[in-house]
Each structure stands twice: as structure tokens, then as C-alpha cells.
Amino acid sequence: MQKFIAAAAGLAGLLLSGAAMAGKDLDAIKARGSLNCGVGIGTAGFMLADSQGKWKGLSVDVCRAVAAALFGDAEKVRYVPLTSQQRFTAVQSGEVDMVMGNATYTLTRDTALGLDFTGVFYYDGQSFLVPKKLGVKSAKELNGATVCVAPGTTTELNLADYFRANKMTFKPVVIEKVDEIRAAFFAGRCDVYTTDASSLAATRAANVPPPRTFDDFLILPEIISKEPLGPVVRHGDNQFADIVRWALFAMLEAEEYGIDSKNVDEMLKSDNPAIKRILGVTPGMGKALGVDEKWVYNIVKQVGNYGESFDRNIGKDSALKIDRGLNNLWTKGGLQYAPPIR
Ligand SMILES: N[C@@H](CCC(=O)N[C@@H](CS)C(=O)NCC(=O)O)C(=O)O
């Protein structure tokens, strides 16, 4: 009997500490009053600090959306630049609360690394950037090439698989910091730079050292992998993970319902029941998520919907001019599909 009581008390203790653990990260973030968001070193359109040190980009906007949901203020974020090699350790150790650093959602990262991916903010794929004067039109012509690549990435593994599958060899030039990879590539230390196509588009649009220009370089047509890029949190605090997950969904749901940063105040008067729920005019969603009922209003007002962020940072209104493609809403032939806010 005594044994049984002790076991039951032990179990209750475990359950209790489990419950307390579940909110540990969120409690710490709330107590701190700001979100520590890991980003890359600097990639135009996705995550780049301007001359005033203000971080901007599509990835940055997801950090801002989470802060808007948590604090009603998209500015309450401290950005921590991390290399591909550092980013997962930084989230594991608690140095950052989440990572928005072009991290591909894979099984091993989602499980063995003790992390959780909360969605896909950008459907990407790996490609190759070459100088036009290399005279290569297809990745199949890269046999024997020297290839610049970052360590600790899916890129490294895909590269080896692709060359092996096509019976080609390559010489890797492995460099950790993205600005140093770009410098090495532009200095001719490698023939090819391989990473996610989005990052190559950013490099080509923003980093070519003069006198050479955008037109002196080419992104080869082959996309050799799936790179679904997602927000990353530590495994173990489900409520914080939910907030990160739904902050991105809210940006997508707002776009789907035509709610944007310019019309969101008008939309508060809408009698569409879905819009009323999304914007918290009909309360309940905020309470369920553990945030203010105006969480989506704050995201859309301060950050914009997904399409606005895409167009402004990497799409038609940016230097990158990336096509919506797979990142269009499902209603427009793309893959971006948010579960309903209800
Ligand atoms: N999506 C790939 C590659 C991601 C990656 O972080 N690549 C680096 C090196 S090319 C990068 O783009 N960094 C951008 C930055 O630091 O601004 C992965 O998750 O492994």
C-alpha cells in the first residue's frame, strides 16, 4: 500500500512538473518582455539589418508577428544573428526562443535534435548559382566543379547525393559564414555556390560586387531538393509552439480573407463571422491561444498579411522579384494553406 502511495505521489509529481515545464519558455519570454529570435547573418529580403541596425525581411516579419501576438507590439524582438552551424544549438540551449533562419523542416531536426518545426513560411528548394562566363547551362554539366557550401545544412547532404546520383564528382569549399561564402564565390574560389534558391536569388540581387552585376550570374534551372523552411522552437513548451504556429497561420488566414494592414480597421466592422472571429470582434480565439483577443489585428496592423510581407520583402515590390509560385495561397494554385481560425 505504502509503495503504491509513493508511486502515485511520484507520478503526480511528474505530471505536475510536466505541466509547469510546458509553459517554462513562454513564462520566461513574458517575464523578459521581449522575444529572442535567431536569424541568419544577413540575407536580403529575408533577414537583414539596415544601416540603422533595424532588421527587415520575410523571416524577420514572422518574429515580429509572434511578438505582436504575445505583446501587442511587433517591435519587442531582440534579433540574434546565427550561422547555420550555430542556430540549432542556440535554440536548444535557450540562447534564443525561436529560430527564423532559413531552416529546412526535416525529420531528424524535428525529433533527434529536440526541436519543433511549427510550419512552413517558405517552400524552397536547393539550386546552383554560377557566373555566366563558366558557360554552364545545367547542373548536369558541373562534373569536377569546386562548390561553395555551408556546413550544418541540408545543402551539404543534398549536394553529395545529387553528384553521386549523377555520377559526377565535386570539390567542396566549406565555409560557415554566409558573407564569407559569398565573398569566396565572387572571388572565384569556387565555380559554383549552392544553397536554397531563395538565398541564391538574394545573393544575386543584393551581393554582386561591382563592376559585375546581376546579369553576370545565373541560377541553374535544376531544383535538386525540397527545402520547406519553417520556424523552429525547442521541444517541450507546447503553448509557445502554438503561438508561433498560429502567428504564421494568422498572416496566411488574413491574406486569404483579404484583410491587410491598410483595411484592417475597416474589417473590424465586417459582418462576415469568420472575419469577426479572426480579428477578435467575436472573442474566443485569443483566449484559446492564451493571448490577447486582438492578436491577429495586431499582427496584420503592424506586420501585414503574408502576401504583403512577401511582396514587400522578396516579391514584386522588392529587388528580389521572387515569384509567389509554391508560396501562393492554396486558393491561387500554391501550397500555402492555413488551418481555420475557429
Ligand atoms: N535550408 C538549409 C540551408 C540553410 C542555411 O542557413 N544556409 C546558410 C548558408 S548558405 C544561409 O543561407 N544563411 C543565411 C544567413 O546567414 O543570412 C538548411 O536548413 O540546412
Residue among 95, 103, 109, 129 nearest 47 (CA): 103
Return the C-alpha cell found at 133: 562566363
Residue 20 pLDDT: 40
CATH number 3.40.190.10 is the correct assignment for the domain at 126-225: yes
What are the pLDDT digits (tens) for 292-314?
A: 999 999 999 999 999 999 999 99
Closest ligand 1 atom to 104 CA: 19
Q: Residues 314, 43: contact at Cβ < 8 Å?
A: no
- Cα torsion 218, 210, 48, 300: sign: negative
Model confidence band, residue 53 (pLDDT cutoffs 50, 70, 90)? very high
Ligand 1 centroid–CA 6 distance in Å is: 50
Report how far ligand 1's centroid is from the alpha carbon of 339 (Å): 28
Query: What rounded mean pLDDT belongs to the chain?
Result: 95
Placement of cell 532588421 in the chain = 55
Domain ranges of the chain: 20-123+229-322, 126-225
Which residue's alpha carbon is at the smallest distance from atom 7 of ligand 1? 84
Q: From the alpha carbon of 152, which atom of ligand 1 is closest?
A: 20
Distance 129 CA to ligand 1 centre (A): 14
- Here the cell at position 112 is 533527434
Between the CA of 46 and the centroid of ligand 1 the distance, in Å, is: 11
Output the residue whose Cα is nearest ligand 1's atom 14.
40
The top-level CATH class assigned to 20-123+229-322 is alpha beta
Average pLDDT over residues 17-36: 80
Does 20-123+229-322 match 126-225 in CATH topology? yes
Distance between CA 323 and CA 305 in Å, rounded? 17
pLDDT tens digits for 65-96?
A: 999 999 999 999 999 999 999 999 999 999 99
As given in the structure block, the three cell numbers for residue 115 are 526541436
**pLDDT tens digits for 143-167?**
999 999 999 999 999 999 999 999 9
Determine the distance separating the centroid of ligand 1 and the alpha carbon of 134, expressed in angstroms.
Answer: 24
Please tell me the residue having the least CA distance from ligand 1 atom 8.
Answer: 84
Q: Where do we find the cell 551581393? A: 207
